[in-house]
Structure 1
Amino acid sequence: MTNIREAMPLLARHEGVWEGTYSYFNAANDKVDEHASRLLCRFPDEGPHPYHQTNHYTWADGRTEVREFPAEYRDGRVWWDNELIKGWAAEVPLDEYNRTVMLYWQRQGDPSLYLYEMIQLSDDGQNRCRTWHWIRNGLLETRTAIQEKLVTRDWRSFEG
């Protein structure tokens, strides 16, 4: 079995707890939603999934949501296939600065909607920005802009 940390060293630099804000904009560039986030990005030493991400979302009105994204590793990519999404993440070898990870995923049950995400990690590994382009039937539907700061590399301290 390939060690995911060795095969994807840039993605391995994302391990830890990240907090930030997700801002959603429609195709006319009007803000349509915003919420706070805490993401746990982990590479478990044991278990069936070499990568597992848990997203905690909190809105200003008190709503909360938690989403789990366990993933497999093969063919140089992380792969998701769960009840919400199906897709992959890969490092971008053309980025000579080793800052960029790209994702593609599609909503399960909605083949007309897919998403591309670009993640930029700061050189010091303390900040990242992410941009999602939601495309439906070939047209931009939504953009999501995400700003995050690393809280700690010790994701185990946040596990319940």
Structure 2
Amino acid sequence: MSDLRESMPALARHEGDWVGTYTIVDIEGKILDRHKSHLTCLFPADGDYSYYQINRYEWPDGKKEEHKFPGTYRDKKLWFDTERIEGKAWEVDDSTIILWFSYKTIPNAYLYEMIQISQCNNYRSRTWHWFKDDRLFKRTLIQEERMQP
């Protein structure tokens, strides 16, 4: 874990709980979906994973989902390989992380996510660019705030 914190200090700043809203739009900007989120970013002191993230989503109609994303650190990147996704994340500068990932259930598709954390560590903005057959087909826009204990 200490290697991950030292090699990816911007990522380490994301530790904790985040609440926000996901807004998914098509390439013309039409809203396709909007839902609330609560993400927990953990850096376990022991175990098989250097990083562990839990994503919880809730829609206005009451639908709820929860997904877990354990990650391993190697080669200055955070790697994911779960039943749902595979991907990797790396730091661009002291406030920006890029994540490339694909859903295992969506053939020929992948996403690039840019994650930006504020200097005060209390706000994040994230954008996903969804590609299928190398063509952009939608975006996810995410605004989050750190939950205060």
Does the alignment reach a TM-score above 0.5? yes
Measured against aligned partners, the alpha-carbon deviations of 1:50-98 in whole angstroms (never above 9, x if no partner) come to: 1000000000000000000001100000000111111001001xx3xx1
Task: Name the SS for the 2:6 alignment partner.
Answer: helix
Aligned match of 1:51: 51
The percent identity for this pair of structures is: 46
**What is the root-mean-square deviation in Å for CA atoms of aligned residues?**
1.3
Task: Name the SS for the 1:10 alignment partner.
Answer: helix
Superposed, 1:75-86 pairs within 5 Å as: 75-86=75-86
Q: 2:127 aligns with which of 131, 135, 149?
A: 131
Superposed, 1:62-141 pairs within 5 Å as: 62-92=62-92, 95=93, 98-141=94-137
Structure 1 window deviating more from structure 2 (134-143 vs 103-112): it is 103-112
1:140 is aligned with what amino acid?
L
Q: What stretches of structure 1 move > 4 A for 4+ residues in a row?
A: none
CA distance in 2, matches of 1:140, 1:47: 38
Aligned: 1:39 with 2:39: yes
Report the alpha carbon displacement of residue 28 of structure 1 after superposing the two structures with TM: 2.0
Report the alpha carbon displacement of residue 36 of structure 1 after superposing the two structures with TM: 0.3
Per the normalisation by structure 2, the TM-score is: 0.96
CA distance in 1, matches of 2:105, 2:67: 17
CA distance in 2, matches of 1:3, 1:144: 31
Aligned match of 2:11: 11
CA distance in 2, matches of 1:36, 1:109: 23
Task: Name the SS for the 1:6 alignment partner.
Answer: helix
Aligned match of 1:25: 25
Structure 1 window deviating more from structure 2 (2-11 vs 25-34): it is 2-11
1:27 is aligned with what amino acid?
I
Report the alpha carbon displacement of residue 3 of structure 1 after superposing the two structures with TM: 1.9
1:49 is aligned with what amino acid?
Y
CA distance in 2, matches of 1:107, 1:57: 17
Per the normalisation by structure 1, the TM-score is: 0.89
Report the alpha carbon displacement of residue 111 of structure 1 after superposing the two structures with TM: 3.6
Aligned match of 1:151: 147
Report the number of matched residues: 149
Report the alpha carbon displacement of residue 109 of structure 1 after superposing the two structures with TM: 4.2
